Amino acid sequence: MKNAVAIRIQNLSKSFSAPINIDGTKQPSEAWRTLTKILGIKSKSQPLKVTMSANQVLQDINLEIEVGSVICLNGRSGSGKSVLLKILAGVLAPSTGRIELYGQVSSLLSIGDNLNPQFTAYENFKRYQQTLRISGDLDACFVEAINFAELKGFEHVPVRTYSTGMRMRLSIALALFGNPSILLIDDILGVGDIAFQQKCIARLYALKEEKRTLVIVLRDENHMQQLATQIITLSAGRITEHQSPLQWDEKIADIEWKITSDLPHNEVIAFRSISVNTEHEANKLNFYLSFEVESDTDLFCRPLIDIKHNKVILLRTLYPQNFALEANKRVNFTVKIPLHIFNSGNFIIMCGLVAFARNTIYSLKAMEAVNLCVRREGVVKNFFKLPHLLEVEQIG
């Protein structure tokens, strides 16, 4: 049964007028004109004859997007992705065609475009919700957004006093926690540190589970393949491909691993153990990497994981939350790695810890914590890089 339509695009085209020098007269540069003016030399250049020529950016776009779909727009720079998002957001008007939007629309096309710097975070959020006419518990939603943006204590401070990073986090939080029916996002999720990027991606997964309709541009092929229900490729302003994300071949014939006996330590933190366990879940084989650490002092820390294949880092993830690590108390971190997304080959897994104590940062890494060998039955045609999100559990 077909779902209700959230967005309907019919015969959409967009063109811009561009100035063209029709007589071909070469004009002197601005620097040369300035110099001749200073020296009192009369310029011999002829008046520039200019006409306007239409530059077609989008052509004959026809698309129906169902409620709850996650549409990832793909294509090279200049293919028309951003222009299409701006038209859907109401920033640009189409030259021809028709757009129908069923539901409240929120957009984030550039950092800060949804903020008034004279308002506080709370006032910005309230104005944003009222503009979109979105109902619900405003205060509860605002608390979620502030915690997400890591701005607790700055709720009632004018945004103009924020640092660039604070404004960036608030701008993204407003869009991701406004609870609109339709969310439009241009490729702005590569900003901030890796921990905040992962929080943004995790929020997009949550919105997908909530059946929100998302139309987004992502550079990361991994996230695109995992998040999308459909991938639409644009080229020269036209839709050239409309395809489903890749599917995994989940058959693993065998795995082997070797755990390092070299447990790193420094003057404050020490690795006490590294271990591996496996578990079958339906047709998938899950791989659990655990490492136990101990500190001589109270710290806040984040586990760090790298996975490399042929010296190329396929995954680098820093868990977005700080864990409390008490002095002289061992804590075990367990990371679930779904092996069904691995191709055949040899992989090196690095596990580490980034810790914070007052104004000091400590970093400790087991560079080759695990050497993993995966063997599959046959050839895996649809393999691509790993996702950036892992589930980390703190025990102890």
Question: What CATH code is carried by the domain that includes residue 188?
Answer: 3.40.50.300
What is the spatial distance between Cα 145 and Cα 168, in angstroms, rounded to a whole number?
13
Higher-confidence residue: 313 or 155? 155
- Same structural domain, 30 and 153: no
pLDDT given at position 84: 93
Half-sphere exposure of 221 (CA within 13 A, CB side): 10
Confidence of residue 384 (pLDDT cuts 50, 70, 90): very low
Classified as helix, coil or strand, 176 is helix
pLDDT given at position 345: 83
Does residue 327 belong to any structural domain of this protein?
Answer: yes
pLDDT given at position 380: 47
- Same structural domain, 47 and 74: no
Tokens of 229: 């229900």
- Same structural domain, 106 and 222: yes
Q: Which residue segment(s) compose the domain that 202 sits in? A: 67-243
Does residue 355 belong to any structural domain of this protein?
Answer: yes
pLDDT digits (tens, 9 = 90+) for 86-112: 999 888 899 999 999 998 888 888 888
Phi-psi region at 317: left, alpha or beta (left = phi > 0; alpha = psi -120 to 50): beta
- Same structural domain, 11 and 148: no
User: pLDDT > 70: what percent of the chain?
Assistant: 78
In the listed set 185, 208, 243, which residue is the last one of a domain according to the structure? 243
In the listed set 201, 220, 243, which residue is the last one of a domain according to the structure? 243
pLDDT digits (tens, 9 = 90+) for 195-236: 777 788 888 888 988 899 999 998 777 677 778 889 999 988
Is pLDDT at 240 greater than 60 in this prediction?
A: yes
- Mean pLDDT across the stretch 118-124? 92
Does residue 149 belong to any structural domain of this protein?
Answer: yes
pLDDT given at position 393: 60
- Same structural domain, 342 and 220: no
Does residue 62 belong to any structural domain of this protein?
Answer: no
- Same structural domain, 205 and 257: no
In the listed set 243, 271, 295, which residue is the last one of a domain according to the structure? 243
B/e letters for 190-205, b = 16+ CB within 10 Å, e = fewer, are: ebbeebbbbbbbebbe
pLDDT digits (tens, 9 = 90+) for 30-72: 666 776 766 666 655 555 555 545 678 899 999 999 999 999 9
Does residue 304 belong to any structural domain of this protein?
Answer: yes
pLDDT given at position 28: 59
- Mean pLDDT across the stretch 298-324? 79
- Mean pLDDT across the stretch 10-33? 69
Amino acid letter, 112: G
- Same structural domain, 100 and 206: yes
Residue 274 to residues 95, 352, 355, 372, 388, Cα–Cα distance (Å): 61, 11, 18, 14, 22
What is the spatial distance between Cα 189 and Cα 23, in angstroms, rounded to a whole number?
45
Torsion of CA 196, 220, 367, 345, to 10 degrees: 150
pLDDT given at position 383: 45
What is the spatial distance between Cα 177 and Cα 207, in angstroms, rounded to a whole number?
9
pLDDT given at position 135: 62
Axis-axis angle for helices 164-176, 194-209 (nearest 10): 10
- Same structural domain, 104 and 160: yes
Name residue, tokens 């864990």: 323
Does residue 389 belong to any structural domain of this protein?
Answer: yes
The alpha carbon of 299 is separated from its chain's Cα centroid by a whole number of angstroms, namely 29
Higher-confidence residue: 163 or 357? 163
Query: Cβ(182)–Cβ(103) under 8 Å?
Result: yes
Does residue 343 belong to any structural domain of this protein?
Answer: yes
Question: What CATH code is carried by the domain that includes residue 294?
Answer: 2.70.50.60
| Domains identified in the chain, total number | 3
- Same structural domain, 135 and 231: yes
pLDDT given at position 141: 84
- Same structural domain, 355 and 291: yes
Query: Cβ(348)–Cβ(225) under 8 Å?
Result: no
- Same structural domain, 316 and 382: yes
- Same structural domain, 34 and 89: no
Does residue 61 belong to any structural domain of this protein?
Answer: no
Tokens of 15: 């063109």
Angle at 376 between CA 309 and CA 388, to 5 degrees: 40
Q: Alpha helices, DSSP H only, in the chain?
A: 30-39, 81-89, 121-132, 138-149, 164-176, 194-209, 221-227
Higher-confidence residue: 67 or 320? 67
Confidence of residue 389 (pLDDT cuts 50, 70, 90): very low
